[in-house]
A and B are shown apart, each in its own frame.
Chain A
Amino acid sequence: MKELGKKVLAGDIRAASRLIRNLEDQIPETNIAMREIFAHTGNSHVIGITGAPGAGKSTLTDELIDAYRKKDKTVGVLAVDPTSPFTGGALLGDRIRMLRHAEDKGVFVRSLATRGAMGGISKAVGEGIHVMDVLKKDKIIVETVGVGQQEVEIINHAHTVIVVLVPGMGDEIQALKAGLMEIADIFVINKADRDGAGKLYKETLNMVKMSKDMGDNGSWTIPVLLVENVLEPNKFAESVKALSDKIDEHYQYLVDNNLLSERMRRKTAAEVNEALWGNILQPVLSDLHSQGEMEKMVDKVLSRQTDPYTLAEEIASRYIKKQA
């Protein structure tokens, strides 16, 4: 346990995987290892892949790994799937699409469950990225859970966000909505050999142009890439290679325009926020749980003896000592 940070710094996969698990399980001493490795992070290019369930994110990720390996880049993957709200269990099935890389030492795939997080990734993703970074992965791909319109937390972690769309999911009004459609640095229209792909392509282009006219996204024009026919491996590989080129182009754009630090700042702010949360709120919650007080409070609110707002104020005044 003590040596975990050092082992990860030495490139030990087992230790790295254990560290990610400790992060997921919120083992308190994990901070020690994270402190050790933090200074060595900040070198990888983090790519987020998001989109609806079944849009093809894992299959794209698999091919993207291949494209990057051919460019002699090492790749880390954090693939997130949902935790059951009923049992706490999870079926993590993204890896099944990436089996061919299992023995490649230049590729490290790790599956994570959301564990109740609502933003499309899990709480451990942010720090999991640091772990992959320390393992000197050139490209870190974060595959979100299948998302809807609103789960956009990936923007706090990725330098380049790819939104994967598929035909048949709605009309042009959907493309104008806030949320998911706003966060793309690159759009991929996957399964583009299916009916409706042409229409979706045009609608997405229109939306991108409108954003551009309104002055969004600086000088970066969001590309809309068509990826078709996973059943024709060569064609598929070719279009994903083109995607990898675009991703690299976006990274270069961020570097050339000093925008990378802006993105990293967003992540850092989220991390500081998270660490404060962990150090301030989490101990209070643990305390309340272990005293059995949480249950009592729920009972009180349930029977309408009090309300959540009064309760929260009482707890806050008990735990927080205001500094003069």
Chain B
Amino acid sequence: MSDRRIRILLAKPGLDGHDRGARVLARCFRDAGFEVIYTGCHQTPEQIASAAVQEDVDVVGLSCLSGAHKYLFPQVAKLLQDEGAGDIMVIGGGIIPDQDMQALYEAGLKAIFTPGATLDSLVEWINTNVKPRA
């Protein structure tokens, strides 16, 4: 009786200690039936990519409120590619200005959520777009 569960790694890259939002998401995803690996603040893209591979997650969710998303988010996506783990989806959230969106999508981000996004909309996005890999 196989039982695939969606696994998500949540991380806050860079110099940013504001993780209330990320904690709320961790709890929300837990309640949605996902397995959430919560890794907290102050991480390098290298640490995040390495953890994502070790944990065999389907999705990496990055939160950034510091303004450094244009470097940090693409870097995580690139490192995953380099490790042959480009199939792990990277999504992001935080204070992201509209004019940065295009560049992030081009760098491989699959979705960006900004203030005002509802918890339900995130869970729905994941349930629609993420199929636990066989």
Contact = CB atoms under 8 A, between A and B. Distances in A.
Contacts of B29: 89
A90 interface: yes
Contact of B38 (A27, A91, A285): A91
Contact of A102 (B3, B50, B56): B50
Max chain A CB contacts within 10 Å: which of B27, B30, B84? Answer: B30
Contacts of A84: 30-31
Given A25-B2, A26-B1, A109-B54, A102 B32 contact: no
A84 B40 CA distance: 21
A287 B121 CA distance: 36
Interface string A69-105: 0000000000000011001111111011001001100
A284 to B, nearest CB: 11
B34 interface: yes
B124 interface: no
B17 interface: no
Contacts of B38: 91-93, 95-96
B56 A95 contact: no
A17 B57 CA distance: 9
A89 B53 contact: no
A261 interface: no
A92 B31 CA distance: 13
A286 interface: yes
Contact of B36 (A14, A92, A110): A92
Interface in A4-37: 13-14, 17-18, 20-21, 24-28
B75 interface: no
Contact of B55 (A28, A110, A289): A110
A67 to B, nearest CB: 20
B51 interface: yes
Given A99-B39, A286-B1, A111 B55 contact: yes
A1 interface: yes
Contact of B47 (A27, A99, A115): A99
Interface of A: 1, 13-14, 17-18, 20-21, 24-28, 83-84, 87-93, 95-96, 99, 102-103, 108-111, 113, 115, 282, 285-286, 289
The 6 closest A-B pairs by CB, nearest first: A17-B56, A102-B47, A89-B30, A96-B40, A89-B33, A286-B1
11 contacts: A25-B5, A28-B2, A88-B33, A89-B35, A90-B36, A92-B37, A93-B38, A95-B39, A96-B39, A102-B43, A110-B55
